[in-house]
Amino acid sequence: MAAGRRTDPIMTSALKPPRVVIVGAGFGGLAAARRLAGRQVDVTMVDRRNHHVFQPLLYQVATAALSPADIAGPIRAILSRAANVRVVLDEVCGVDTGRNVVELTSGAELHYDWLIMATGARHSYFGRDDWSAHAPGLKSIEDAIAIRSKVLLALELAETETDAARRRALLTFVVIGGGPTGVEMAGAIAELARRSVSEDFRSITPHCSRVILMEAGDRLLPSFPETLSAKAERSLRRLGVELRLGAPVKDVGDGHVRLDNKILLAATVVWAAGVEASPAADWLRAAHDGSGRVIVEADLRVPGHQNIFAIGDTAKAMGIDGKAPPAVAPAAKQQGRYVADFILGRAQRPFRYRDFGNFATIGRNQAVITMGSFELSGFVAWLIWSVAHIWFLIGFRSRLSVTITWLWNYLTYQRSARLITGEIACPRPQSLRSQSLERKCA
């Protein structure tokens, strides 16, 4: 069928509205559900978690700048006024396209007339999944809390560690991956370790910690123009971040990272180097690219399945310019609204992505922005980045909370979300001294 042309919506009867199943409550899935709210369709949204997360700010939870509740909200609360939308807490394990059924791990089945796959992406360790135990990625609230605890616990243990080598390892933080997530994470850890917490410790000064950002390519932020990549590198170096470009990682183990001819000892390693799509392509038996993204038509439908859409990080959709939309929240939200309009009979043309720019922040007062041929960096870019992220947060409470917290952090350099959760291993007795430790680095 020609792209953009409609087929009649599938109706079981004149009294039964079409059943729309949305898999995934990320940006794309939630945008579709909100667009369909109050319409003559029966919508079921299924997700394995009960909350929607504003992923672009997860790194701020991981570095104690924000609390989890600041960037996450219950899916049911977000859709509470949508009487035709129900939320199911479950996990998808397959799709029977012959019977138009989504299979859940609980054993239940969801029948659909239209299916929207918005399952997002997960970490990719390029065939070395064993690295995940030592270098966690950042895709969920649980990931962010685990990284936050790891970073803060390293600082706590370093405060009383007397062995020089062990102390250096505790105060060494390695971020693998030079994309926006890696750049933002490295800058935030540097600010946390060098400024925000140093005044609260007695033996850690700003120059004690070491933050290393590794990138296998020859420059940071490869999706940005080279001029902005260079500015980002300079900003990170001013924060004290060490850059290792052209440095592919050979191995990640317990407390170390190995390069070609060198081993770095580090208690904290964060993975920001790659992602891969969910198993949606396998469930649908659909063609996919090397990252597992379903290759979709111009109207975002899966080839061979006229009533199934794939959007966001789940899909690879080529635009009219021959380029795929970037894996960012605005693209997923636009796609979610588009497929909802398609189901409602409103979308008559192929999907076209409206580019609102690419953003990355590099610590306090520094960011880089590209909007088409327009480039911006520095303090003004940082202000635009801040306003844009507050605007895209879901709910007035989250916007207000993040605004107040950011203002407080900016004025005081304090990070109030410095909580270590879960069971904490006590430091070894030989690491403690009875006398006061000097404020100096070994």
Environment class of 40 (CB within 10 Å of its CB; exposed 0-12, middle 13-18, buried 19+): exposed
Q: Is 184 a catalytic residue?
A: yes
Cα–Cα dist 72/394, whole Å = 8
Cα–Cα dist 298/320, whole Å = 8
Choosing from 184, 215, 233, 297, which is the catalytic residue?
184
Phi, psi of 52 (to 5 degrees): -95, 140
Residues with active-site annotation: 184
